[in-house]
Each structure stands twice: as C-alpha cells, then as structure tokens.
Amino acid sequence: MNRFLLLFFTFTANSILACVCEPLAPISKELLKNYDIVFWGKVDSVSQNKAGENIAYFTVNQLYKGNSEQTTQLLFDNASSCMMNFVKSDEWLIYASYTNFDKLNVHLCSHSRKMFLEQSQDVYYTNANRTFAEEKDFLKTELGIQKLIIRSGLIKQQSELKPHNDQPSNTNKIILLLISVLVMVGVYIITQKKKK
C-alpha cells in the first residue's frame, strides 16, 4: 500500500509541476502578428536584476520585425516549470512581446527556438515543420531584414524629444531688451495721458 501511495504522489506531483504549452501551429504570417519583436541572435550573457527578473542579453544578427539595437535584453522565466534555458553563445530565433513599455518578454510556449548543430537534436522541428535555417528563410521572405537602431541615432532622437532650454543669442537678447523698453515707455505714455 505504501509503495502505491508513493508512486501515486510521484506521478501526480510530476504532472502538476510540468509546464503545459498548447501545441503550436507552425509560424505563419498571421501568427507573426502576436509578436512585437522577431530576430535571430546569439546569447551574450544571462543575469538577474535587482527586482529578481531573469535577463538574457543578445547580440542581434538579423532583425525581422520591430525595433532593436545591435544588443538587446529579454526577460524570461527561469524559476517555474516553464523556465527557459539560455546559454552563452547559443543562437536563437526569438519571438518576443512587450510586457511593459520597455520590457521585452520571451516565453517557453512561444515560437522561440534554439539552433541545434545536428538536425536530430532539434526538438522544435516537430511543431515548426521547418528546420532552423528554413524558418530564417521564411522570416526573410515574409518580413524582410529590418535595420537595427544605431545608438547615436537613438540618443539624438531622445535629445530632440526632451524639453529644451535654448538661450537666445546676444544680438537677440539686445533686440528683446530694446523691444521691452519701448513697450514699457509706450505703456507709461499711455497711462500718463489717461491721468490727465
């Protein structure tokens, strides 16, 4: 009886703790609408921020959808049964979405897939019905390759959007001062005439 209970709890715990993803249809033009950013990239490093969020840092090789710099970061689950395993130098096709305005999130149950050196190891082939290379070709055909944002251009855009406190030139200051004096003299003359 004890063995039976032990086996029952073991199998029940495994089924409760296992990550359950709905079967994914192969990526299509319609399914691409579900993602904000799509790219092929290489993992540079993985870390955790002060808020306890897991971050994977990528170098983007080719950008197919969205806006991104050459390097980008993604939040991912590294604690639950649906955790993702990013390892330095691994190459991935990433399908990510924004959870907040500026935070990209990638999930195990998305179309994201890792590149394997041997086709026999590619666990994503079953759902994708395409090899990694075939999926990259599909993305190039459907979406094209987008330009990456250059950091200096991004800083320039941000500085143009910020409030400015531009000072007039010395010549403009003198002109403004003369206009102000003339307006004050005019107001003084008008008020003196009304008093009389």
The architecture (CATH level 2) of 22-154 comes to: Beta Barrel (2.40)
User: DSSP of 27-81, one letter per residue?
Assistant: P-TTGGGG-SEEEEEEEEEEEE-TTS-EEEEEEEEEEEES--BSEEEEEE--SST
Residue 87's pLDDT is 92
CA–CA distance from 68 to each of 55, 63, 93, 192 (Å)?
16, 7, 14, 66
Residue 20's pLDDT is 85
Q: pLDDT-based confidence at 12, cuts 50/70/90? A: very low
Q: Look at residue 4 and tell me whether its pLDDT is greater than 50.
A: no
Residue 149's pLDDT is 87
Using one digit for the tens of pLDDT, what is the confidence trace for 138-178?
Answer: 999 999 999 998 876 555 665 566 555 566 678 888 888 88
